[in-house]
């Protein structure tokens, strides 16, 4: 009966895809070049994050110049506000895109996410203010994943999502190094102009070349009726966390391990630049090396570990690597220590894919989206809390910098600056040690997660909600795990 159900499901998916193709051809050709494809989504993601990646080095400099006394605190607050706003707005934007179409919201999210770029040289204060407020629309990934789901069948979706995520990684592997080089040779102004031009190219590409994946005839007749508070409630998935003890253990593990990771992402490159004395080129090289190693760890190494030591042990191993990495960052006082810990950090990136795989194998087919949605919600919440927490810990431990200009300038006219670290503690990076303690708690909680279990989340209301408000083009099949929401960030 199960096999017959799968055949029936595949037949339904083929029918839906055929209907979409017929509507696209006969019901008014959508504006854009060609039929909707994954490559349209890939180009949108690449251009957006390539533009932001170029600004990695200039952003760190402008951040310290704008907030010289409380650099880490303000960085944490800016990124924290942006993360919380993204977490709150993501469900609503996703629900609205089901009604008004993906293209309009791709345009909206890319425009507002990239809006701060030209302000870097015009007014740094407005630049950082607009960055924090832009979190309301900094959810391009959620719209892109919905776009991809509209145009792919269920068995093609994982590969398509992987292509989008790999494109995101590739853009950040290359662009910071290019931006650092151009900044050193030609100055920050050229980098800002180039990043602005690429952002405008992305917006123009969406306007001209990206076809709508959700044709007019596939949309609901009424614009207001399909949207309910439950669809727009960012805490809807989190409310189901306590309904199963195993789900609760997994969610606590994710929260305790991802909270320091989110904080680390927001401040670590600033930490390398200002505290550890890395040059802009060294920071860019660090990002590139770490990105390449992470891709290898999440593909080849993860596959080998899953087959050899099992799912749960892979999670525990990844958490162990994360503890070592954070402790190394916390006590490290030399640049070579940061490079060594970065290699360990790449290995720690296997944790979340292993958690997602555990949930995927353990949950019933009709509850995958519910459980994965909880994990996504927790990660989104951490993206807001983590940066603010790290900034606050840096502040209370007085980890700040005073930039002292030397009295004499060299013949070239460049001003030499000396960085002095004001620090009342022998620990260079207090937040990283806090993060190591948090991940240690996550490791202890993960020990109680059984290797093979059947997650039982009471999702009747959820399924009823999906049934009453769902559409034939619903991007998420009940039996498919939701792709984690990735938020747009500067670095």
Contact (CB, 8 A) for 146 and 170:
no
Does residue 81 lie in a domain region?
yes
Domain harbouring 385, CATH code: 1.20.1250.20
296 lies in the same domain as 385: yes
Cα torsion 161, 167, 168, 169 to 10°: value is 110
Q: What is the pTM of this model?
A: 0.69
C-alpha to C-alpha distance for 439 and 122, rounded to whole angstroms: 41
193 lies in the same domain as 278: no
Which pLDDT does position 278 carry in this prediction? Answer: 86
Report residue 349 as tokens: 């990136």
203 lies in the same domain as 65: yes
Which pLDDT does position 372 carry in this prediction? Answer: 62
- Walk along the chain (491 residues) and give the pLDDT tens digit of each residue: 455 555 555 554 554 454 444 334 434 444 667 788 888 888 998 999 899 989 888 888 888 888 888 888 888 888 888 888 888 887 788 778 777 778 888 898 899 989 999 998 888 889 998 888 888 887 787 788 788 877 877 667 667 776 777 787 778 778 888 888 898 888 889 999 999 999 999 999 999 988 887 765 455 544 444 556 666 677 776 777 777 788 888 889 989 998 998 888 878 888 888 778 888 888 888 888 888 888 888 778 888 888 898 888 999 999 999 999 999 988 887 888 889 888 888 888 888 788 877 776 766 655 555 666 677 778 778 888 888 888 888 888 776 544 433 333 343 343 333 444 444 445 567 889 999 999 999 999 999 988 766 666 554 444 444 433 344 444 444 334 344 444 454 44
243 lies in the same domain as 111: no
Does residue 46 lie in a domain region?
yes
Does residue 488 lie in a domain region?
no
Contact (CB, 8 A) for 160 and 483:
no
282 lies in the same domain as 149: no
Which pLDDT does position 470 carry in this prediction? Answer: 40
Which pLDDT does position 407 carry in this prediction? Answer: 36
Which pLDDT does position 427 carry in this prediction? Answer: 59
Spatial CB neighbours of 105, under 8 Å, sequence gap ≥ 6:
93, 96, 97, 143
Q: Reduced to 3 states, what is the DSSP secondary structure of residue 418?
A: strand
43 lies in the same domain as 171: yes
C-alpha to C-alpha distance for 191 and 360, rounded to whole angstroms: 43
208 lies in the same domain as 244: no
Report residue 7 as tokens: 């055949």
C-alpha to C-alpha distance for 95 and 89, rounded to whole angstroms: 10
Which pLDDT does position 363 carry in this prediction? Answer: 64
Q: Which range of residues forms the domain containing residue 97?
A: 32-214
198 lies in the same domain as 336: no
56 lies in the same domain as 165: yes
78 lies in the same domain as 187: yes
263 lies in the same domain as 145: no
Which pLDDT does position 369 carry in this prediction? Answer: 56
Domain's final residue, options 182, 214, 246: 214
C-alpha to C-alpha distance for 24 and 58, rounded to whole angstroms: 44
195 lies in the same domain as 83: yes
Domain count, the chain: 2
Contact (CB, 8 A) for 54 and 191:
yes
Spatial CB neighbours of 288, under 8 Å, sequence gap ≥ 6:
173, 174, 176, 177
Which pLDDT does position 63 carry in this prediction? Answer: 86
Cα Rg for the chain, rounded, in angstroms? 23
Does residue 2 lie in a domain region?
no
Query: pLDDT tens, 262-305?
Result: 888 878 888 888 778 888 888 888 888 888 888 888 778 888 88
Domain's final residue, options 168, 183, 214: 214
Does residue 316 lie in a domain region?
yes
Q: Output DSSP code: residue 238.
A: G
Does residue 346 lie in a domain region?
yes
Closest CA to 196 of 45, 52, 85, 347: 52
Does residue 487 lie in a domain region?
no
HEC sequence for the chain: CHHHHHHHHHHHHHHHHHHHHHHHHHCCCCCCCCCCCHHHHHHHHHHHHHHHHHCHHHHHHHHHHHCCCCHHHHHHHHHHHHHHHHHHHHHHHHHHHHHHCHHHHHHHHHHHHHCCCCHHHHCHHHHHHHHHHHHHCCCHHHHHHHHHHHHCCHHHHHHHHHHHHHHHHHHHHHHHHHHHHHHHHHCHHHHHHHHHHHHHHHHHHHHHCCCCCCCHHHCCCCCCCCCCHHHHCCCCCHHHHHHCHHHHHHHHHHHHHHHHHHHHHHHHHHHHHHCCCCCHHHHHHHHHHHHHHHHHHHHHHHHHHHHHCCHHHHHHHHHHHHHHHHHHHHHCCCHHHHHHHHHHHHHHCCHHHHHHHHHHHHECHHHHHHHHHHHHHHHHHHHHHHHHHHHHHHHHCCCEEEEEECCCCCCCCCCCEEEEEECCCCCCCHHHHHHHHHHHHHHHHHCCCCCCCCECCCCHHHHHHHHHHCCCCCCCCCCCCCCCCCCCCCC
Can you say whether the dihedral through the CA atoms of 67, 68, 74, 75 is positive or negative? positive
Report residue 243 as tokens: 């309904």
Does residue 119 lie in a domain region?
yes
């Amino acid at each position: 009966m199960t096999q017959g159900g799968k055949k029936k499901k595949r037949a339904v998916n083929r029918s839906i895809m055929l209907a979409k193709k017929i509507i696209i051809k006969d019901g008014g050709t959508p504006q854009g070049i060609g039929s909707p494809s994954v490559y349209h989504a890939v180009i949108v993601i690449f251009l957006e994050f390539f533009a932001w990646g170029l600004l990695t080095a200039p952003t760190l400099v402008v951040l310290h110049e704008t907030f010289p006394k409380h650099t880490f605190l303000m960085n944490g607050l800016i990124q924290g506000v942006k993360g919380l706003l993204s977490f709150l707005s993501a469900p609503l934007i996703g629900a609205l895109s089901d009604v008004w179409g993906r293209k309009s919201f791709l345009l909206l999210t890319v425009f507002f996410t990239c809006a701060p770029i030209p302000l870097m040289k015009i007014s740094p204060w407005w630049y950082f203010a607009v960055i924090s407020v832009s979190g309301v629309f900094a959810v391009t990934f959620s719209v892109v994943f919905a776009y991809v789901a509209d145009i792919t069948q269920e068995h093609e979706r994982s590969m398509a999502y992987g292509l989008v995520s790999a494109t995101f990684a590739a853009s950040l592997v290359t662009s910071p190094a290019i931006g650092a080089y151009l900044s050193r040779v030609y100055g920050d102004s050229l980098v800002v102009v180039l990043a602005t031009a690429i952002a405008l190219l992305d917006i123009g590409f969406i306007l001209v070349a990206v076809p709508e994946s959700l044709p007019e005839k596939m949309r609901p007749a009424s614009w207001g009726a399909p949207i309910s508070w439950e669809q727009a409630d960012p805490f809807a998935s989190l409310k189901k966390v306590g309904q199963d003890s195993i789900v609760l253990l997994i969610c606590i593990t994710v929260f305790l391990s991802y909270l320091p990771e989110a904080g680390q992402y927001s401040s670590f490159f600033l930490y390398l630049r200002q505290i550890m004395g890395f040059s802009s080129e060294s920071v860019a090289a660090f990002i590139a090396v770490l990105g390449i190693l992470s891709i290898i760890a999440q593909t080849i190494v993860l596959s080998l570990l899953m087959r050899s030591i099992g799912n749960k042990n892979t999670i525990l191993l990844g958490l162990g690597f994360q503890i070592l990495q954070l402790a190394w960052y916390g006590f490290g006082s030399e640049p070579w220590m940061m490079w060594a810990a970065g290699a360990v950090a790449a290995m720690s990136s296997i944790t979340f894919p292993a958690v997602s795989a555990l949930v995927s194998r353990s949950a019933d087919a009709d509850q995958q989206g519910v459980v994965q949605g909880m994990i996504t919600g927790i990660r989104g919440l951490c993206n807001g809390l983590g940066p603010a927490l790290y900034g606050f810990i840096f502040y209370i431990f007085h980890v700040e910098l005073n930039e002292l200009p030397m009295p004499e300038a060299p013949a070239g006219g460049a001003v030499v600056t000396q960085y002095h670290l004001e620090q009342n503690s022998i620990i260079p990076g207090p937040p990283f040690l806090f993060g190591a303690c948090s991940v240690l708690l996550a490791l202890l909680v993960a020990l109680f997660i059984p290797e093979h279990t059947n997650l039982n989340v009471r999702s009747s209301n959820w399924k009823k909600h999906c049934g009453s408000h769902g559409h034939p083009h619903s991007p998420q099949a009940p039996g498919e795990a939701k792709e984690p929401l990735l938020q747009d960030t500067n670095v």
